[in-house]
Amino acid sequence: MLDLKFVRENPDIVKQNIKNKFQDRKLPLVDEVIELDAQARATKTEADELRANRNKLSKQIGALMGQGKKEEAEEVKAQVNAQAEKLKELEAKESELNEKVTKIMMTIPNIIDPSVPIGKDDSENVEIQKYGDPVVPDFEVPYHTDIMERFDGIDMDSAGKVAGNGFYYLMGDIARLHSAVTAYARDFMIDRGFTYCIPPYMIRSSVVTGVMSFDEMDAMMYKIEGEDLYLIGTSEHSMIGKFIDTITPEEELPKTLTSFSPCFRKEKGAHGIEERGVYRIHQFEKQEMIVVCKPEDSKMWFDKLWQNTVDFFRTLDIPVRTLECCSGDLADLKVKSIDVEAWSPRQKKYFEVGSCSNLGDAQARRLKIRVQGPDKNKYFAHTLNNTCVAPPRMLIAFLENNLQADGRVLIPEALRPYMGGKTELVPTK
C-alpha cells in the first residue's frame, strides 16, 4: 500500500505506474481517493475545532456555576449538548470516509522499480541469465507421473477418491526423495545464515490483507468456515505476519527466516496438459525464505535471495535460468520480481520453480512493521520473499534431469546423505 501523502503529492506518477501495469480501469481511483481524503481531512478539522470549542464551553460552565449563574450555565450546557450531536455525526462521517480511502488505497498498485521491463503479461518477461547446460537426452523422457509410476511412487486415483482432483499420494522412494529434498533445503538455508522457522499454517484475515492483494487472496486462499482463519498459500505470509505491529531496533536488522510448510491453494482456472500431474495442485510443501530489512538494503537482499535458489538447484545438477518479471506480471504489492525456471528435457524448455519478490514497504505499511533508528525516529521496513524449493515442481525437474536411458534416476552427491547414502533409484516396473 502506498503512502497516502505520496499519492496526494504525486498523482501523475501513481497514474503512470497504473498505466505501466496495464490496469487503466484503476486510473479514476487516484482522483477519487484524493477527493475522499480531502473530505476526510476537512471533516477531521471541523471535528477538532468543535471539540476545542466544547472544551472551552465546558470550562465556562464551571466558572458560571462558581459564580452562582446557574441559568446562564444551563444555556451553555445546552450548547455543549447540541454540539455533542454534531460531533457524533462528524466522527461517523470521518470514519466512513477513512474506510473508503483505505479500501481504495489497498487496490492501487505499488510503485514498480524503474528497472522493471514494461510488458502486459508473463509472455513479455525478460531472460536474464542461464546457469548450467540444458541437455536433451537421446532417449524419450516420459511424463513425470509416468516416471513416478515406474517406482510405484504416485497414486493420484486414490487421492482423487479421498480429496478430489489436485491431490496425490507419494509413495516409497519418490516420497522419500520428496522428504530428502525438503530436509536438504532446510539445511542449505540454515548454512546460508537463515533462522529456521516452523510457522502457523493458518492466519487471520488481518494478516492475509496485509501480505497480499485482494485479487491474489480470492484466487489463492482457502477460508476456514465460521472462523477468521485462512489456510496459508505459502509460509512467507505467516513468517511476515510474525512481525505485525512491531517496532524493531535498527541494529537488530535484518531478520532472515526460512521455513518449511504445507501450502494450500485454490489454483482457480483451467490448465493445460503440461500442468496436470503434480505441477499445479491444491496441496504441496515448500521451503521458503523471507527478509525484513532497512530500505537501503532491500536491493542487496533481493539479489542474494534469488541467487540462493539458483545455487540450490545447481547443487542438484538441474540447469536453471532467471527471468525478470515485467510490469504486467507483477502482483500489486511487488516492486520487483525474478522467477527461477528449471530446464525440462522432456518439454525442451524451462518452467517456473520459484519466485523472488521485493515488496518495498507495502506489506510493512499494511501490517505496521516499523523500525526505530538511532535517532529514535520510526520508519517502515522493507520485506522480501523467495522460494528455495517447492518439491512437487522440483521433483519434475529432478526426475527429468537425472533420468537414465534404462529408467534409473541418479542421485546427486549433495542429496545422498538424505537418501540413506543411495546413489540411484532403481525402478520397480
Q: So where are the chain's domains?
A: 4-105, 122-425
pLDDT tens across 205-226, in order?
999 999 988 778 878 899 999 9
Residues 20-41: what's their mean pLDDT? 97
Task: Judge whether 144 and 278 are in contact, CB under 8 Å.
Answer: yes
* Residue 344: all three cell numbers together: 525440462
**Grid coordinates belonging to 346:** 522432456
Model pTM score: 0.90
Rounded Cα–Cα distance for residues 359 and 112 (Å): 9
pLDDT higher than threshold 60 for residue 315: yes
One-letter amino acid identity for 192?
R
Helix 298-314 vs helix 172-191: crossing angle, to nearest 10 = 140
Percent of the chain with pLDDT over 90: 82
Lowest mean pLDDT of 56-60, 287-291, 351-355, 366-370, name the range.
56-60
Residues composing the chain: 429
Other C-beta atoms lying within 10 Å of the C-beta of residue 419:
20
| Structure confidence by residue, pLDDT tens digits, 124-154 | 999 999 999 999 999 999 999 999 999 999 9
311 CB burial (10 A radius; 0-12, 13-18, 19+): middle
For 368-416, the pLDDT digits (tens) are 999 999 999 999 999 999 999 998 899 999 999 999 999 999 999 999 9
Q: Which helix (H) or strand (E) holds 270?
A: none
Per-residue pLDDT, averaged over 18-42, amounts to: 97
As a whole number of angstroms, the longest Cα–Cα distance in the chain is 107
| Beta strands 283-293 and 382-389, pairing class | antiparallel
Per-residue model confidence (pLDDT) at position 404? 97
**Which residue matches cell numbers 464551553?**
57
Q: What is the dihedral of CA 118, 121, 126, 132, to 10 degrees?
A: 160
User: Where do we find the cell 525478460?
Assistant: 126
Q: Could you tell me the pLDDT band of residue 106, with boundaries at 50, 70 and 90? A: very high
pLDDT of residue 429: 85
385 within 8 A of 289, measured Cβ to Cβ: yes
Q: In the chain, what is the straight-line distance between the N-terminal and C-terminal CA atoms, in Å? A: 54
| Rounded average pLDDT over 50-64 | 71
Beta 382-389 vs 378-380: how paired, if at all?
unpaired
Rounded Cα distance between 106 and 3, Å, is: 11
CA gyration radius, the chain: 28
Going edge to edge, which strands form the sheet with 246-249?
Answer: 246-249, 369-372, 378-380
Q: Which of the listed CATH numbers 3.30.565.10, 3.30.930.10, 3.40.50.410, 3.30.460.80 matches domain 122-425? A: 3.30.930.10
Of 186 and 75, more confident: 186
Cα 69 from chain centroid?
65
Per CATH, the architecture of 4-105 is what? Answer: Orthogonal Bundle (1.10)
d(CA 97, CA 99): 5
pLDDT (0 to 100) of residue 99? 95
pLDDT tier, 278 (very low <50, low <70, confident <90, very high otherwise): confident
Q: Are 151 and 174 in contact (CB under 8 A)?
A: yes
pLDDT of 136: 94
What does pLDDT average to over the chain?
92
